[in-house]
Structures are given as structure tokens and as C-alpha cells.
Structure 1
């Protein structure tokens, strides 16, 4: 893959920050956008800005076609069986809350179990805490190994006949752990439990086939996969979605409204109340076109190579602690001995290097790691080994600045 050629499609990367060429290593938080995505959003606003599903005029028809074409692109991208199973939301957090509030509250009862992992992002933890509190269910955790992985033995031991929901991230946003979602689904389904997957850190970086994984719900965000902010997706199996009640009600999701009762539209629109993020969906469709053109297999292989290189060169720097397994997604999380992660990020920023510092919306995981925060460098298709070399040099300058000897 020609990273230099790909990089030319991203105008934001062609700049200096604090007098240095920008090295963007924070794609786990949000990815940068190629010109094709920016142009697609601009074209919508310039040429056919209108609401969808309502007007029969030309602009309204064009907007509706653009919006629904994006849904079909998403369907193909994750291999959903039907566009009825593709719900547009504001992002992964909204998608997971929708499942928790609609399916969870209706189907989980006192004495039931909700199984999750210690590595979950808060978006796939707090909603299930709330469901457990409201229903009297028990929240259980699959034990995590020292390297941040899960074993099939522990998974089998944790999921029982009382388990109603298993909620798990496909790729940890902190450790980069790639969880065995397909195997987890098999174990959960053997106990008649429903599987909810946070795909925010996997969908942008590797091929995803929801039918092959056989998961029941799958959530992800557009802004982490070259698309705009404010648009996300909830995939759900049709038979489950049909039996769920909408969380939001109002315009565009109704079939009939009377003075005292209302009925809902069919899938997927019954879960999309109000004016949707039309430009966001169109931008997400353009992002999917870009990713497909490059090839998800190539992107995954490229990130494997970058992550492996980063692990190798960072391991050679004295005084660095690296968290997570050797086989991981495209990120490296670390700390420098004696230096607070926020200070590391500040010094790296002075060198034009953007990384993330903090608890990464995973405070229980930080407790498991016995730290309050970490530094995370996350990679994408536009990153190169030269970017990693810049990161290493920046870390050495950070150590020098804080009085370390290297």
C-alpha cells in the first residue's frame, strides 16, 4: 500500500503544527477525512440540501436517494442481510444505549445476568450498569489475563444459563486486544443469550461480516472510519429489532398518529425519529467508497505491520511500559516511567505529534492496569513507519526534558 499516495487525499495532514510536520497518531479518537468525503458533504449542501422521506420535489428526492444509498453501502460493508437491519444513529454510544434501553430493559429481569469485560469503553459499560440497576440483574465480568486477552475457558465459565446479554468490544480502544467475537457468540447462543458488540475500533480497520460473526447487535461510528462526526450505525438482527420499541418518538418514525395512540413505521425508520443526519450519512457513504477502493484487507495488513513495528522500536526505549498483547489492533498504549501521560502528550504536541493521553473512557481498565492514565498512539491507513520513528524521537526528547537518561 502506497501510504504517501494515500496521505495526499487528506488535506489536514499537509500542515505543520508548532513548526513541525504534523504526525497524527490519534485516529482511535477520530480519523481524518479524505477530500472525497469532504466534497460529498459539500455537494449535498451546495446542490441538493433538503429533508428526506417527506417532500416529493426534486431536491427532496435526491436527498432521500443519497441517504438511503448510504444505508445500502453500510449494509454491503458489514454484510448485513437487509437494509432493514441498518439503523442510522449519532454514533456508537447512541447505538449501544438504544439496545440497552429498548431491548435490555424489556428482556432482562431480576436474577438474570449481563456479561461484559473489564476492557469495555464506558459506552459499553454504563448502559449495562443502568439496566442491571433498573431490573435487578447481575453484572458479571469475564476475567482478563495479564496481557489483556480473554480465554475461551473463562468465557465458557462466565456465561451461564442465567445470562441474557453478553456485551463485548471487538477491539479494545486501550489495549488493542482483538476479542474472539465469533466464538463468544457461539458460546452465548448456546445459552440463549444475545450478543452485543462494540465495533467502534474494529469496523474502520478490518473486514467485518456480521452474518459470519453471527452477532445480534453491532455498533460503530462514522467519524472513526473517515466519515463525519454525528453519524453512526446500529446493526441488529431483523427479528430482534421488529420486537423492540423505539426509544425516541416523533416525526418520520410514525405510520399513524391519533389523539390517543400511534403506530410505528417499519424497519429501519421506526428507530430514526426526527430529521436524521443526512449529510453525515452521505459522508459516511463516501468514506465507505474510499475504504473499499483501498481495500479493507490491505488496510488491516498495513496496520498490523505498523503496530508490530511500533511495538518493536518502543520496546527498545528504556523506561517505557507497554500495555496489551503482542497481537493487537493498530494502536500502542504506554507510559514513560516518572512522567505523567498528559506531560508526555504536551511535549509530543510541541514536536507536532498528536497522541491521546488520559483514561480513554475506560476507568475500570485503568484500575486493572494499576495506573490512572496512559498515552495512546493509534494508527490508520495514512500512517507510516516514519511517523513511528518521529514518535520514538519525540519520546526520547520527552525523557530528556524530564531529566531521564537514555
Structure 2
């Protein structure tokens, strides 16, 4: 493994599993690229991750030898495609310790997964015979947080507009943590669902949800967690997490774009009305009315992202081969190293937790008065790839009084040398704009 100098006070454990980062990097063809004459330094994995050969080969193999539609044919190719697709569902279920593969709904991404839940509430609100847990109207409330990605804000705003319900939210502290001081006043008997980010895509904050979960259970509401930035990086156990729904997306965990996951408790999925209508989600259809299939098929109308799901299964295999606990600790040590290294850059302000406790490997910052787009362009000229902008989290930027931030984010293939390249690049930015 790449040697990491752990800052003073950061605990070191002999029993932490390790892996060879150089060997891992050899699996990712894109990491051998040069950008503007410099070795590629990719620090934008919170945006999208790269894909190892093992995933790319499965994607190619599926299209080359097993391409067919699923759950429709009895011929050989159709059977092979269906077995691979449902096999991927089983792999994902085991990866998050879901009690049943039938609790795993394949979606396009986390955004679509959240919208499915929000529109199920909307559709149920129009039906007097619907499960009352999903019916919303004036006087009911939906609770989110100021820390959310837009995909966990806008669907709930639209839902509240459609139903007359009220949207409320947890504020964020100066340290970039959820402010739970008003928990009992915010989550009440009027609350129907609480939808929160598990790990912030902009602040890196890992939200400990136990107090919120206990309050949600106390008032009889439902809990959804956006795990887009946690499932790729942390061991995940939905039973232990005790949420009602989680969502995550494949392209942030070594899989292709176009595939995501909605996990929901079986009895909740069974009680939810469908959102999309069409092929494969039906039980029977007459000209007068239709009845619907059991989950997960009920929420997978039309031809699904078959090859992408199969490749997601391959990505799960790859991550399991390395070990999620090993990945978690690799990133924890990288984050400690990066926080220490970035602390040496004059005029650099880190947003979010400044200690490697309760935070993931995503660090957003401002460099003096230099606009993040200028920071990003200079870094790109040196081969260093970071993300700049509002990161689909404009309320967070507003909370900290900036129009945009620069963000560096890490994954299992990130090295300390790449962090050193970032720090060197930021010193170059300062020289350019001094």
C-alpha cells in the first residue's frame, strides 16, 4: 500500500485490512492517461468513479454474447440475460445486507429512486383507499436538511406543491454538521417522511442518524437516506441502519452510468402504488383497468438498464474482493493526510468538518479570493482533476456565504502522491493570482 503519514492524534490499528493501491490502480485503464502533458490526478470520484477492467470486460461480454431482453423470452439468450440481471440484483442485495433481493429496485440513478418514492406519495394522496402512510395533504410535513443534494430537495418541494404539505429542514452548523438541537420540534406527529443525506456530497459529513431514526420511529414517520456517497465507500447494512428506504447510484461505485438502486422494506414497497406504467410492471391489463405486479417489477416499467445492472453486479464483486472495511480505512487515512496537507496552504478555507472523524473523503474549500473556476482551470493545466461549482448543493453554498466551492474527492485508487500534487497545484494557483 502507498505509505501514508498519519497526522498526530489519528489512531492507527494493526488489525485494519490493507490492499495494494498500486495493484488496484493497474486495473483502471484511464489512470494511465496524461492530461496536458502531466500524469492524470483524478480527484473527482464523488462526481463519478472510474471503472476497472473487470467491470468493463463484463459489460463488453454481456453485449457480445448474452444480449437479449429480460423476463420476456424462453430462448437461450433471453434466459441468460434474465439470469444475469436477476443475479446482479441478488449481489446488490447481499452487498447492503438486504433481507431479500425483491427489496432491490433497479433505477436509472439516485435521483430517479428518490422521485419514485416522492411520486408514490403523490399518487397515493389521490386515492382514498391508499395506505395512509403515503397520503399527504395540508397539515402534513416532509423533513429534509439544508445539506442535501438538489436531488433530495426538488422532488420533495414538488411533492409539497402538489399535495399542500409543508417542507421543513434541519439547518447546518458552522462546522458542517446537522443541527439536531430542534429535533423534537422539527420531526413531529405531522411528519410523514424524513429524507436525509447519509454522507454529504459537498461537505463530506457522515451523518450519524440514530437520534433522528429514534425520533422518526417515535412519531410514526418514514425515513429515506440518500446513500449515494456512502454505499461506495463504507460497509453498508440496511438492517442495522434501520432506514425505510435507501438510494444509491452505480456510477459512483465503479459501475456504468444509467444504473441506480432504490432499496425499500418489502412491506412498504408492496404498499406503494406504481409510478411508471408500461410493460413488465403489470399483472393483468384490460381496456377498463390494470392490476400490477409485485415489487420490484412494479417499479421497473419497460426495458430496464440490463447490461448496466450486470456491470453493477461486477462492480460489487470487485469491491467485495478488496473489502469495504479496507476501502473505508484507506479513505479515512487519505482524508486525515489531506486535511493536514491542505492546512499548509495559505488562505485556504475548508468547508465542513476539519477533522477526520465523522467525515468522508470529500473536501470542499476556497482559496482566498480566487474563483473556484480559476482554481479548477489552473489545476487542470497540471493534470489535476477537481470539481468546481455549487455541486448541486446551492443551499450549502449559500449557508457558507460563497457562490461556489472547489472540491477534491477520493476513492480506493487515490494515493497520497495525488494529494501532494493537489497541494503543489494550489501553490501554483496562488502564484498565478497573487
TM-score, length basis structure 2: 0.91
Using the TM superposition, name which of 347-356 and 154-163 deviates more: 154-163
- 1:151-166 equivalences under 5 Å are 151-166=179-194
Residue 239 of structure 2: aligned partner? 211
Whole-angstrom CA distance in 1 between matches of 2:175 and 2:181: 16
Q: Deviations over 1:154-175 (max 9, x none)?
A: 3333211111110100000000
Q: Distance in 2 between matches of 1:314 and 1:255?
A: 57
* 3-state DSSP of counterpart to 1:164: strand
Quick one: distance in 1 between partners of 2:379 and 2:123? 45
Give the equivalent residue in structure 2 for 1:320.
Answer: 348
Show the 5 A alignment for 1:144-183: 144-183=172-211
Q: Check the 8 A contact 2:281/2:298 in 1, yes or no.
A: yes
Displacement of 1:70 in angstroms is 0.2
Mapped partners of 1:345, 1:300: distance in 2: 27
Query: Which one of 32, 35, 39 corresponds to residue 17 of structure 1?
Result: 35
Given the alignment, which residue of 146, 154, 172 partners 1:126?
A: 154
In the alignment, does 2:94 pair up with 1:66?
no
Equivalent-residue separation in structure 1 for 2:105 and 2:79 (angstroms): 20
Alignment of 1:331 with 2:369, yes or no, is no
Range 240-249 or range 350-359, more displaced: 240-249
Contact 1:105–1:131, Cα closer than 8 Å, also in 2: no
Which residue of the partner structure matches residue 170 of structure 2?
142
Residues 51-99 of structure 1 show CA distances to partners (whole Å, capped at 9, x for unaligned) of 0000100010000000000000010011111111100000000000000
Any residues of structure 2 matched to 1:371-382 within 5 Å, and which? 371-382=402-413
Question: What is aligned with 2:68?
Answer: 50
Name the structure 1 match of 2:371. 340
Aligned-pair CA distance for 1:299: 0.3
- Inter-partner Cα distance in structure 2 for 1:115 and 1:208: 24
Q: 1:245 offset after TM fit, Å?
A: 1.2
Q: Any idea what the Cα deviations from partners look like across 1:221-242, whole Å, max 9, x if unmatched?
A: 0000000000000001111111
> Comparing 134-143 with 354-363, which one deviates more in the overlay?
134-143
Q: 1:184-214, CA deviations, whole angstroms, 9 ceiling, x for partnerless residues? A: 2221111101001111011100011111111
Q: Distance in 2 between matches of 1:361 and 1:73?
A: 30
Structure 1 CA distance, aligned partners of 2:253 and 2:121?
27
2:274 maps to 1:246: yes
2:369 equivalent to 1:351: no
Answering whether residue 215 of structure 2 is matched by residue 197 of structure 1, we say no
In the TM superposition, residue 244 of structure 1 has moved relative to its aligned partner by 1.0
Which of 111, 114, 124 pairs up with 2:142?
114
**Distance of 2:304 and 2:210 partners within structure 1:** 32
Unaligned stretches of 5+ residues in structure 1: none
Match of 1:294 in 2: 322
Cα deviation, residue 105, structure 1: 5.3
Return 5+ residue gaps in structure 2 as ranges: 1-18, 125-134
**Deviation by residue 1:100-153 (Cα, 9 ceiling, x = unmatched):** 111355322210111111010000000111111111111111122111112443
In structure 2, what is the Cα distance between the partners aligned to 1:265 and 1:164?
26
Distance 2:92 2:251 in 1: 14
CA contact (8 A) 2:379 2:385 kept: yes
Distance 1:171 1:14 in 2: 30
Q: Does 1:84 align with 2:112?
A: no
SS in structure 2 opposite 1:33? Answer: coil
Q: Aligned-pair distance for 1:43?
A: 0.3
CA contact (8 A) 1:247 1:271 kept: yes
Mapped to 1, the partners of 2:331 and 2:321 lie a distance apart of 17
1:268 to 292, 296, 320: 296
CA contact (8 A) 2:144 2:194 kept: yes
In structure 1, distance between residues paired with 2:183 and 2:53:
43
2: CA distance, partners of 1:203 / 1:248: 26
